[in-house]
């Protein structure tokens, strides 16, 4: 049975692959990212796969952005069956080199 799937962090990598594969399986996919101007990789992958994706702006650190994306899906589909929280970030320094604000940002996003 097809599901309505909301996926965060779909501008690159695993998020792109997950969104495309879910759409290929027949699900309605809402692929979200912080900056929709960086959707080129996602659009190209969807085109190659021959699938359609619904792309929305969603910044996981901004409650208003999260609410707006969820409200859009609910308005269009009536429900969300699956949430895949793929958005994340890393840090390429030792913990001792990190500023407290950097650590908090990583924890908030991941």
pLDDT at 107: 77
Read off the CATH number of the domain in which 33 is found: 3.40.50.720
Sheet architecture: strand order including 4-7? 54-57, 28-33, 4-7, 82-84
Secondary structure (3-state) at 76 = helix
**pLDDT level of residue 44 (50, 70, 90 thresholds):** very high
pLDDT, position 108? 77
Question: Residue 1 pLDDT > 80, yes or no?
Answer: yes
* Overall number of domains in the chain: 1
Q: What is the pLDDT of residues 6-38, one digit of tens each?
A: 999 999 999 999 999 999 999 999 999 999 999
Range(s) of the domain holding residue 30: 4-109
pTM: predicted TM-score of the whole model, two decimal places: 0.86
Query: How far apart are alpha carbons 93 and 73 in whole angstroms?
Result: 38
SS3 85: coil
């Amino acid at each position: 049975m097809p599901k309505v799937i909301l996926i965060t962090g779909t501008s690159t990598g695993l998020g792109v692959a997950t969104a495309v594969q879910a759409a290929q399986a027949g699900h309605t996919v809402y692929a979200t990212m912080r900056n929709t101007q960086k959707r080129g990789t996602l659009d190209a992958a969807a085109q190659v796969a021959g699938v359609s994706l619904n792309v929305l702006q969603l910044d996981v650190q901004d409650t208003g952005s999260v609410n707006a994306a969820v409200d859009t899906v609910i308005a269009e589909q009536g429900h969300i069956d699956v949430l895949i929280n793929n958005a994340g970030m890393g840090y390429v320094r030792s913990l001792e080199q990190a500023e407290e604000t950097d650590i908090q940002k990583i924890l908030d996003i991941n």
